[in-house]
Structure 1
Amino acid sequence: MKSVLVTGANGQFGKSIEKIAVNYPQLNFVFATSSELDITSIESIEKKLFNESFSYLINCAAYTDVENSEKEPEKAYKVNADGVKNLALICKKQHTVLIHVSTDYVFDGEKGAPYLVTDVTNPINVYGASKLKGEQHIEYLMDSYFIVRTSWLYSEFGKNFYKTIFQKAKEGANLSVIDDQIGSPTHAGNLAEYILNLIIDQSKSYGIHHFTDGEILSWYGFAEKILKENGLADKVQLEKAKNYRTFARRPKYSVLEKHI
């Protein structure tokens, strides 16, 4: 039986894997929260991986606050780059396959068409740059790895766009959402299935993969879909935001071409 360690198990994606783990009885899962296994501490990783043998490590630990990454870049790089380097070093020593979740934000959004796994990266914010650095550490240090880029994750867990729109709509608030950023919303449960199936079928080659749910929407279009799905479209006013500014720059078109 293959043993799988999941880091960052207290986050949205870690919880999504845990929810469906029961469907994979051929895998033995160990879930470690960020307090139980701190990827920024190589000693913490060594303690866990040297005491137990794991065939795979799925890294769900990440610093995902795009806005605060601009204000405190050292925090983003500590987790998304240095922490990932630590994982790569120890996984290589232990002959553990590393499966790492990355982001559409490694691209600048100027292509105007879905990004291929072979396209040149060019992040335009600190979050994207820190995630790219993590990817590069893995590629440089390891041979046996999967880097799975995804986009606009949402689920029933944690904080995400879907839950925010749904909750505000239920409260009767009018909504103003931007329409000038295009991507592919992805349910974390679907990404979890894709990654666990990488382990089960073993037919995919190591390297970089792209996975999304495939539908191309703006944030406004996604909000519209959320309202319709929940029968709230006629109960609140949804308008397109104008002159909405954020501290961090976002790619205008960050759709990923699925690589499955």
Structure 2
Amino acid sequence: MEKILVLGKDGQLGRALQAISKQGDWKFIDKDTLNLYETETILGKLEREDFDVLINCAAYTAVDKAEDESEIAQRINGAALAPIAEACRMKKAILIHLSTDYVYGEVLPVPLREDAETNPQSIYGQTKLSGEEAVRSILDRHIIIRTSWLYGSEGHNFLNTMLKLGATQDKFQVVYDQVGAPTFVEHLAGAIVDIVKMNISHFGTFHYSNEGVCSWYDFAQAIFELTGKEVEIEPVNTDKFPTKAKRPNYSVLDKQKIKDTFGIHIPYWRNGLRACLHKMNKLK
């Protein structure tokens, strides 16, 4: 049975993988054990680990803070991927690396294929693209999965932000001119576990988000519709909420490649939201 090593034990995806990977030989590592900022120590530490598949969920994800901490973000999201990929190459292991829709820039409103031009508009996006490029330059046996609008029952994400706002306010604003697809972290984790269980022979870059399309405003409306909370939400333009880092206006990902390659079924985003709220006991 293959041995799987997961970096990023305490993040949203790391926790979701721990919850569903009950069978098999899985090991989860936190940043105290392997700090990706300390790039010079990564290769040596990974050489001492025994694995056939390495899943890298670890990342610097503070999108706005990255504009001021570009060196830290680049080390964790970019430079760290070279020794990670090298360790996988030396061990003849497969690397599954998580990336983001932020690697794209201004695009036409057509679902983005994996071969679409990348042009990140933020430091965070630039560092994630740098990590992707490091993986591709060193390791053939890699699967890069770009995802978007990730959320779950725990952690800092849009769903939990909305639930907190709804508990204290009965009226607020949400942007409607950023369009994408929310991704329930447990659905993404399930897809990764399904891929790991296969005899992996296809490599490259893939997209995974829940099916469908919505704006942040639509997502917020669905949250309160399903929880039965009466909240008045005003749709506003992005410029009403200026941020240091520029967000993609359109980041709907085309998932046909991952579905065709691995035979994965991808649930609709509202079904993902319903499943998450049910887990949280928040459904009306």
User: What TM-score do the two structures reach when normalised by structure 1?
Assistant: 0.93
The farther-off stretch of 132-141 and 220-229 is 220-229
Report the counterpart of residue 248 of structure 1 in structure 2.
245
Residue 18 (structure 2) aligns with: 18
Shift of 1:50: 2.4
CA-CA distance at 1:44 after TM superposition: 4.1
| Superposed counterparts of 1:183-222, under 5 Å | 183-202=180-199, 205-222=202-219
Offset, 1:69: 1.1
For residue 51 of structure 1, the aligned residue among 48, 52, 55 is 48
AA at the equivalent of 2:14: G
The 2-side partners of 1:175 and 1:109 are apart by 28
| Aligned equivalents of 1:247, 1:238: Cα separation in 2 | 24
1:238 paired with 2:228, answer no
Contact 1:15 1:157 in 2 (8 A): no
Other-structure match for 2:67? 70
Q: How does 1:139-158 map to 2 (within 5 A)?
A: 139-158=136-155
**Is the contact made by 1:39 and 1:87 (CA closer than 8 Å) also made in structure 2?**
no
CA positional deviation for 1:131: 0.3
Identity level (%)? 36
Q: CA deviation at 1:48?
A: 3.9
Find the counterpart in structure 2 of residue 38 from structure 1: 35
Distance 2:227 2:175 in 1: 20
How far residue 40 of structure 1 moved from its aligned partner, in angstroms, is 3.0
Kept after mapping to 1: 8 A contact 2:101/2:251: yes
Shift of 1:41: 2.9
Question: How many positions carry a matched residue from both structures?
Answer: 255
Matched, 1:108 2:95: no
Matched residue type, 2:222: K
- The code of the aligned residue for 2:234 comes to E
TM-score calculated relative to the size of structure 2? 0.86
- Backbone CA RMSD of aligned residues: 1.5
For 2:88, which of 88, 91, 111 is the aligned residue? 91
Deviation for aligned residue 1:42: 4.4
Which residue of 1 is the match for residue 273 of structure 2?
none
Distance 1:204 1:105, change over 3 A: farther
Q: Measure, in 2, the Cα distance between the counterparts of 1:176 and 1:20.
A: 36
Please report how far the alpha carbon of residue 58 of structure 1 lies from its aligned counterpart in structure 2 after TM superposition: 0.5
Between 1:49-58 and 1:136-145, the stretch displaced more is 49-58
